Amino acid sequence: MKKMLCMLLLAAVAGLFARELKKDNYAKKGTCSWQAPSYWAGKLSLKDVDGKKCLYLESGVRNKNEFFGRALATNVRGVSYYPGMKIRIKLTAKGTGEFSSGILVYSFSSGVPQYNVGGKVQLTGEFKDYEFTCTLKEQHRMVLPYLEIRPQGGNLTVSSFHMESLESKNSLKAENTILIVESGKKVPAITFRTDLKNTDMVISKKYGTKVEYIKTRSDADGKITYEPGILKDGIWEIAVSADGGAVAKTVVDVRDKTSFAAMDALAKKARNSKKMHVLFLGDSLTDFYRGENYVDRVSFWMNKYAPGKFTFRNAGIGGDFLKRMDDRMNGELRNRNWAWRQKDYKGIFKEKYDLIFLFLGHNDTRARRKDGFSKQETPPALQQKCLKSIFEILTKNCPGAKIVLIAPSPSDEALFLARDKKLKKGVNMVMYGKKEFVDLYDAENRKFCKEHNLDYVDVLTAMRNAPVLKDLYVSDGIHLSPAGQRVITAELLRYLCK
């Protein structure tokens, strides 16, 4: 505990705070999060040292004259990496030979990684604490930590390993997290504000796998302004970052004239709507890609012609299903750590809402291969029980709020069916989007809405009617791509502006 407090204090003194990216427990997970690819030399295994499980790396030989051992960890999901960001590696290790560690950085345009070496040390036979820090010079799609031991006969024993990003305590924010612009039209000036005044920064202008870097500087008031001009159709990310890890970004979605006009026509109807504060309850489809997901897109359109009329709280929780949400709501009422990510519901019933959207289903309808995909996470009886409990909690604690259910997302069932065919017998996997279970969940939702006179937004039909369903999802077939976000946004706008 004292050691942890000291580390936090050191980070605070440097104007940074540590965000944990990776923490290994070899007793529980073994070597599963580390690998020593065959194209490298060396051997990786699990070793028992004084009753404690440790990672053990031995040097080997490659091309008859290269003697080393090297291992890397699996990818840390959901992390964005920008210029100026600092990655710190801390580990406790012993061994023989020269040990080095750092990160492999992967650019958006190349699959070939580059080494960012944090440092090298000569190992001893006693466990010691080591610390290495790497600073990123560009924007990267992936960052993997690595361990290396040299020369012939070298070995490394690791009892603990941590990787964390050192993030700036300085404020750096975008005035607009998302802009939706008509094709061929000039993009409005993008403004960022920071407490880092008269400070050199870098603008990363990303389109697909191409990233352009532009040097900039905050003014005496802490303002940074960038004018993109006319951008071609698609998704652009304009991010500004400072040395030390402060970063903010604006996503620019340049739409074709037809689809932009359709959404714009709906948005104009919002001018006559009443001021409303909306609560979005959901799983990762609501939680992920904050600043640019369907919640933010709805807000953009609703406020385009009626600025300030639409405000929201995004209470999406990645991994949620009905039982988890029900437990968390009960935990909040009882002021107890009741469920997964309980703190994210803190004060949720203290706000006054005019409208509450409930969007769940892709986790409730998942099924496991070990069960022959015969059981869904939330069977109908439990679905009705949890919906009833959640509805009663919301109506009692959010008086006056209108409650609206959103149909489940279908996910990309074909992707999981194809994956099942390739897997060997006995290997488990989770399937999302099994049509039988999605349709059953949808039917139970409709039944509940009918019994309680609730409105229902049918995004399921809209998504299934898309020209190419898989285009609505990122590569995992579960989470929404920009195209998928647009479909959900359109259906909610039609509901809000009818």
Give 52's DSSP letter: E
The yes-or-no answer to whether 16-167 and 172-253 have a common fold is no
CA distance 275 to 311: 8
CA R_g for the chain: 25
Query: Collapsing DSSP states into helix, strand and coil, what is residue 156?
Result: strand
How is residue 444 written in tokens?
């139970």
Amino acid identity of residue 79, one-letter, is V
pTM score: 0.89
Output the CATH code of domain 258-496: 3.40.50.1110
**Does residue 482 have a cis peptide bond before it, meaning omega lies within 30 degrees of 0?**
no
Specify burial of residue 399 (Cβ count, 10 A radius: 0-12, 13-18, 19+): exposed
Q: Which CATH superfamily is domain 172-253 in?
A: Immunoglobulins (2.60.40.10)
Contacts (Cβ under 8 Å, ≥6 apart) of 83: 136, 137, 138, 139, 202, 204, 213, 241
Ordered by start, the domain boundaries in the chain are 16-167, 172-253, 258-496
Sequential pLDDT tens for the chain (498 residues)? 444 434 433 444 345 678 899 998 888 878 878 999 888 999 999 999 999 999 999 999 999 899 999 999 988 777 889 999 999 999 999 999 999 999 999 999 888 899 999 999 999 999 999 999 999 999 999 999 999 999 999 999 999 999 999 988 899 999 999 999 999 999 999 999 999 999 999 999 999 999 999 999 999 999 999 999 999 999 999 999 999 889 999 999 999 999 999 999 999 998 888 899 999 999 999 999 999 999 999 999 999 999 999 999 999 999 999 999 999 999 999 888 889 999 999 999 999 999 999 999 999 999 999 999 999 999 999 999 999 999 999 999 999 999 999 999 999 999 999 999 999 999 999 999 999 999 999 999 999 999 999 999 999 999 999 999 999 999 999 999 999 999 999 999 999 998
Output the CATH code of domain 16-167: 2.60.120.260
